[in-house]
Structure 1
Amino acid sequence: MKFSDLDLDPKVLQAIEEAGYETPTPIQQKAIPEALKGRDVLGIAQTGTGKTAAFTLPMISILAQGRARARMPRSLVLCPTRELAAQVAENFEIYGKYHKLSMALLIGGVSFKDQDRLIDRGVDVLIATPGRLLDHFERGKLMLTGVQIMVVDEADRMLDMGFIPDIERIFSLTPFTRQTLFFSATMPPEITRLTEQFLHAPVRVEVARQSTTGENIEQRVCELTPSRKDRADSEKRAALRALMRAEGEALKNAIIFCNRKRDVSVLHKSLLKHGFNAGALHGDLDQSVRMRVLNGFRDGEIQILVASDVAARGLDIPSVSHVFNFDVPIHSEDYVHRIGRTGRAGRKGVAVTLCLPHEQKHLDKIEELVKATIPRVPSPLAAPAPAPEGEAPEAEARPRRRGRRKSAAEAAAEAAPAPPPAAERAPEPDAAPKAAAPEAPAPDAPSPRPARARRGEGKRAEPSAQQDEAPAPRARPERRRGGQVVGLGDHVPAFLLQPINVDELIAASARDEDPEEEEADAPSPAEGGPSGEGAAV
């Protein structure tokens, strides 16, 4: 089947041909004829199957006749994110370039005045996010009583983002006679209730089993076990970089999804630091920045796009080669949409998910949803093979220096070869002189140890034979400069330059050794000492 067999407007067929499309996708083959008949359509298909064109093409053909009035749009398209709304607007520009249909895009981050100016002129196609649409309505700048066709795109994403109450209110503001085109990749119970409430005898178009992934996508899971809990994030980023480098030239461009906006910023800075051409996209960025990054990724100026789930819907870039889930999505349905950014338009794609131990429960739910076991790949951070004998590992070969720096003498002593053990040491010749044993100190000689060290000697046990042999004191390394001992130089203390009377020192030493002689030399009280009788005058 070709597009010419779908009874579309000739000008639409011409635009489709110029865009390079010839054969409609299964969802387009079934949804477009029913939409042209004016019936409500409930389309269920996995992401990347052409749902946007499935409602864009029949809308342009239907709206080719008629004229819009001020502040009363003829059709309304609701999208969950700004990026998806901009994507739908681009589709209308491509396929409706030969029609004089007016269009307005109501999204956040854009001035109200510019949007009010478009609405005041009257628009045939109004594309909006629910929040900004209700803002215009509450300001009295918009009326929805003239809506003929209403489209809800990515309804399950609306549910995840909490837009269901807004959707119900918008439905109540539109005419009961409207035609509703409802598209979603999955059908949770809440979405089913919404379709039963607001759709009238819809034609259910389901081209694939709910929550299935594309057959062109090669899925992998890399399970990581961090060495320590506080290193989990850094090791996870290192594993991601290793996996990306391992893809080589096959990685033309890639989208990396994170669960949190903070992780998007951290990972983006890390990739830039390691030389990757990367850009960041999340909801806290200004709309102009988001569009600039998105356009740079489409044009090939940015190779790696780090994004939150805001980019999981609406990115129609057929040439995305890889998708990396840096975090396992908490909601299982988000996995289907994330990996659906690759493998589009019949191309092959690769989706790799990094999984930490605490994320295993989310991965189990995903495999239960898709009804398949995702193949595992080894972690690039696995422990290296043990080094062969005789080769020290790198960590031991280059020890980390801690504490004080070693002196030159200590370094030289460590570098010298160790002496052989006593058992293997060669016997000394008889002619070699033996070192004289040190003489034992005299019994009356004072011990060379300080007084504090001699306390409690009587309470200690007798030393053993090994303790009697005191080890030789370690030689203090001399500080040399140019091979000579460094002395005081000209800075000699003054007390060292005082003359010394050797005779007085000898006499004083003798008196200290024989105190009785000193007492004998002293005059007694009877001889006229200060305390004797001769002291009285």
Structure 2
Amino acid sequence: MNHPDPTPATTPVTSFADLELPPGILRTLADLGVREPFPIQAATLPSALAGRDVLGRGRTGSGKTLAFGLPLLARTAGRRAEPKQPLALVLVPTRELAQQVTEALAPYAHALRLRMATVVGGMSIGRQTAALRDGAEVVVATPGRLHDLVERGACRLGRVRITVLDEADQMCDMGFLPQVTEALDQVRPDGQRMLFSATLDRDVDDLVGRYLHDPVVHSVDPSAGAVTTMEHHVLVVHGPDRYAVTTEIAARDGRVLLFLDTKHAVDQLTRHLRASGVHAAALHSGKSQPQRTRTLAQFKDGRITVLVATNVAARGLHVDDLDLVVNVDPPTDPKDYLHRAGRTARAGESGSVVTLVLSGQRRELSRLMAEAGIEPTVTKVRSGEAELSRITGAKAPSGIPLDGGPAAPRPKNTNTPFRGLGTSKDASRGTGGKPSRRATEARKLAEARKAARVRRGG
């Protein structure tokens, strides 16, 4: 399917005061110091407030939450939901994004006396059932948990008049398309739909064709990689030096987000960083939701300066003034790169994205970067070098453990690669974690020979 041609839309506004927003929303905007709409808000708000379906293409951090949230709340104001029957629905791919959307919209909902419920996995389904039973005009949900509640009869979608799909491409990538279409089939067929996505590929195309009626199309900041305030660096490192490079970057002044491929690698690196005196915390799907929420709060308020994460943090995570993202493990998909990169340089701020690679990974990464439309600066670096500090702010860690116990050994260029930092299990076997069987047998043989020499007096 081809995307619909943009329907002529109303002229973008330059001030929230120019819109027909309820006084409660305008007061709350003023109280929170939100004065001028971001481009995607200025472009979509008039159409959305008029009840039009909206297809918004914009990178994360471009202000999409208020772009769909303010019209949704304004058009729901004054109505009252029956038990288990919400009037507006926002579908998002992750628990973190659901909580961020809820937190962003809560002050405006409160001003309009609208009740919100957040419906996500990893949290008490009993409490969520109770919140729906008590009545909630607006539900922010992940598709899987919403499906569970609908199946239980705890939520009915037949009265939903406004439906938003946020980060639609990620929901499709994560396999949620069946639950998303199931929900869209149950909401009011004559209702308003707003779909926001950083990319508009095949599955999102299908959703647009099936469920949006004559949408007004807006494209603002279509690619995270196109942001002129973002610098992209590829740092070519020597394999045994990769751990030391990562540790020195983590010890920089200011916050940094480190991406790795596996939960095991995230946990292992986090332990090492804390033993080196770096205020680091881990974020991945193996953590409980309360743990993930607490970790994010500590990272946002500065108690944690390094967030070590799997791709669970690649989308939807909004942290103000985060100026460095590091791919310790290079991503394998262009979209993953762009979404990881989108955690920095948000809302017009500047930022850098650094990807660590071994010499053997350069060709594959070059292909990925080209597909993502990125032309990075490539630099060979070693730990302790001024060039590494110039690009990333890297410095030596304090070495004072944060959790007691012995200090982590100072990584040296002679160290073997850290398990999980850009190495496959096969490549790293015997170089981290438990020693290989061959190494164990060799050690035992050497010990036996030494013992024999001692017995012989040699």
Q: TM-score under structure 1 normalisation?
A: 0.67
**Partner residue of 1:350 out of 349, 352, 357:** 352
Secondary structure of residue in 1 paired with 2:329: coil
Report what 1:238 is aligned to: 244
Report what 2:425 is aligned to: none
**In 2, Cα distance between equivalents of 1:157 and 1:262:** 24
Q: Report the CA distance shift for 1:168/1:254 in structure 2 as closer, same or farther (over 3 A).
A: same
Tell me if the contact between 1:101 and 1:123 (Cα under 8 Å) persists in the aligned partners: yes
Tell me if the contact between 1:25 and 1:50 (Cα under 8 Å) persists in the aligned partners: yes
Report what 1:526 is aligned to: none
The answer for unaligned runs of 5 or more in structure 2 is 1-13, 387-412, 415-446, 451-458
Secondary structure of residue in 1 paired with 2:62: coil
Report what 2:270 is aligned to: 268
Tell me if the contact between 1:217 and 1:348 (Cα under 8 Å) persists in the aligned partners: yes
Q: Report the CA distance shift for 1:383/1:182 in structure 2 as closer, same or farther (over 3 A).
A: closer
Report what 1:95 is aligned to: 108
Q: Which has the higher contact order (CA 8 A, sep 6+)?
A: 2
Q: Percent identity?
A: 37
Post-superposition CA distance 1:342-383 (Å, at most 9, x none): 122332212111123454355234322332310112212599
**In 2, Cα distance between equivalents of 1:355 and 1:113:** 46
**In 2, Cα distance between equivalents of 1:365 and 1:164:** 29
Letter in 2 for 1:283: S
Tell me if the contact between 2:335 and 2:372 (Cα under 8 Å) persists in the aligned partners: no
Report what 1:428 is aligned to: none
Residue 180 (structure 1) aligned with residue 193 (structure 2): yes
**In 2, Cα distance between equivalents of 1:11 and 1:160:** 37
Tell me if the contact between 1:46 and 1:214 (Cα under 8 Å) persists in the aligned partners: no
**Partner residue of 2:72 out of 52, 59, 62:** 59
| Structure 1 stretch displaced more, 327-336 or 130-139 | 327-336
Letter in 1 for 2:351: G
Report what 1:73 is aligned to: 86
Report what 2:300 is aligned to: 298
**In 1, Cα distance between equivalents of 2:67 and 2:344:** 20
Tell me if the contact between 2:54 and 2:193 (Cα under 8 Å) persists in the aligned partners: yes
Secondary structure of residue in 2 paired with 1:345: helix
Q: Report the CA distance shift for 1:268/1:198 in structure 2 as closer, same or farther (over 3 A).
A: same
Report what 2:47 is aligned to: 34
Tell me if the contact between 1:186 and 1:211 (Cα under 8 Å) persists in the aligned partners: no
Report what 1:375 is aligned to: 377
Report what 1:312 is aligned to: 314
Letter in 2 for 1:183: F
Secondary structure of residue in 1 paired with 2:225: coil
Secondary structure of residue in 2 paired with 1:83: helix
Secondary structure of residue in 2 paired with 1:318: coil
Secondary structure of residue in 1 paired with 2:348: coil
**Partner residue of 1:155 out of 153, 168, 173:** 168
Residue 170 (structure 1) aligned with residue 183 (structure 2): yes
Secondary structure of residue in 2 paired with 1:243: helix
Q: TM-score under structure 2 normalisation?
A: 0.78
Bigger Rg, which one: 1
Post-superposition CA distance 1:131-152 (Å, at most 9, x none): 1001011111111101000011
Q: Report the CA distance shift for 1:218/1:377 in structure 2 as closer, same or farther (over 3 A).
A: same
**In 2, Cα distance between equivalents of 1:370 and 1:98:** 42
Root mean square deviation of aligned Cα: 2.3
Report what 1:113 is aligned to: 126
Aligned residue pairs total 378
Report what 1:142 is aligned to: 155
Q: Report the CA distance shift for 1:359/1:189 in structure 2 as closer, same or farther (over 3 A).
A: farther
